[in-house]
Structure 1
Amino acid sequence: MSPTDQQLLEQIRSPITRELGFRQLIETYQKRVYQVIRRLVLIHEDADDLTQNTFIKAYRYLDKFKGNSSIFTWLYRIATNEALTFLEKKKKRFSFSLDDHQEKLESYLDQPGSLDGDQIQIRLQKALLKLPEKQRLVFHLKYQEELTYEQMAEITGTSIGALKASYHHAIKKIEQYVLSE
């Protein structure tokens, strides 16, 4: 049985049980954080590294966590920021245009064993790569993570109205891509 957020926070805030509490936090949330990042960066090795970075940052800033949201919402925000920053740096470092970067990721999707799933899943992933990063993030949060708009607003710092618009545009673009293939 996983400890509650409150139990984890109590353990983490006590100098005696801080390390144990943080290890439990990792055990509780590592898979979910990894999945969030993997959906954005696609490549396992990158997602693995970014998951570690997320927990390092979480450890470093634990004292600043006020408990206004769930621990997962807080970790999700860190993970999302890590993934988006990584993608931006990767594009700049390799001087990729956005189109070149998308083509590279699409070719990765075509490799055998690159993703679990069938052709429909691969098509969906390719459609997601065509979306602007903000729309892709909103789609992941709403559709795949099943978060409410309120939770999404807390994570992204974006208004609910803007999130609804981004999600609507993302859905339309995905439908258009999937139907045109």
Structure 2
Amino acid sequence: MEEKDLIEKIRNPDTKNYGFNLLVREYQERIYWHVRKMVIDHDDADDLVQEVFIKVWKNLDKFREDSRLYTWIYRIATNECLNFLNKKKDKFFLPINDVAAELSSKLDSGSYISGDEIQMKLQKALLKLPDKQRLVFNMKYFDEMKFTEIAEITETSVGALKASYHLAVKKIEQNLKID
């Protein structure tokens, strides 16, 4: 279904619920994996995805259509991830390294990675990055998004994103050499 048709269904009071169900079916899996790459834990990701779609439902009337619907939802998901990670740090008074270690232990014990040892090393190297650099790296490398799309979602300049991505790649390379 075209995005404009989906928006039309959502805007129509008679088809709003149906339109929202279509929206969830269309975007839920991609949003889940975006969130999961940031928070690692399946249960946390599931909870956050529910929160994302609750926020989408509550704010549908505020969607101005100055960006794509998916971009708007992705931005909500991104903000939820960053807020979740910040709350986790604040709640337990954890420095960034301790949060990375906790997420890394979930990575070891979970079924997140079905790949080989190299993929596990990459995921652990990613966890050592600051949240925003990890977010940019995930969106560019795994989701194969263009910098212009990432800029729209994160409300950051393309130049800053390119710098963040470059720094992330350098840090990952360093971490992989050390391991």
The answer for unaligned runs of 5 or more in structure 2 is: none
Counterpart pick for 1:68 among 50, 66, 69: 66
Alignment of 1:140-179 (within 5 A): 140-179=138-177
Per-residue deviation, residues 110-154 of structure 1 (Å, max 9, x unmatched): 226343222112111110111111111110111111111111111
Alignment counterpart, residue 44 of structure 1, candidates 38, 42, 45 = 42
Counterpart Cα distance in 1 of 2:30 and 2:98: 29
Aligned residues, how many? 179
Counterpart amino acid of 2:50?
Q
Question: For 1:17-36, what aligned pairs fall within 5 Å after superposition?
Answer: 17-36=15-34
Check conservation: 2:35, 2:49, Cα contact below 8 A: yes
Unaligned segments of structure 1, at least 5 residues = none
Root-mean-square deviation over aligned CA pairs: 1.1
Matched to 2:155, the amino acid is G
C-alpha separation in 2, matches of 1:173 and 1:28: 34
- The equivalent residue for 1:87 is 85
SS in 2 for 1:116: coil
Rate the CA distance shift 1:114–1:147 in 2: closer, same or farther, 3 A. Answer: closer
Identity of aligned residues (%): 52
Moved more, 108-117 or 97-106: 108-117
For residues 83 and 3 of structure 2, the distance between their equivalents in structure 1, rounded to whole angstroms, comes to 27
Give the Cα separation in 2 of the matches to 1:166 and 1:141: 12
Choose between structure 1 and 2 for higher RCO, CA contacts under 8 A separated by at least 6 residues. Answer: 2
TM-score (norm 1): 0.95
Output the CA distance in 2 between the equivalents of 1:114 and 1:49: 16
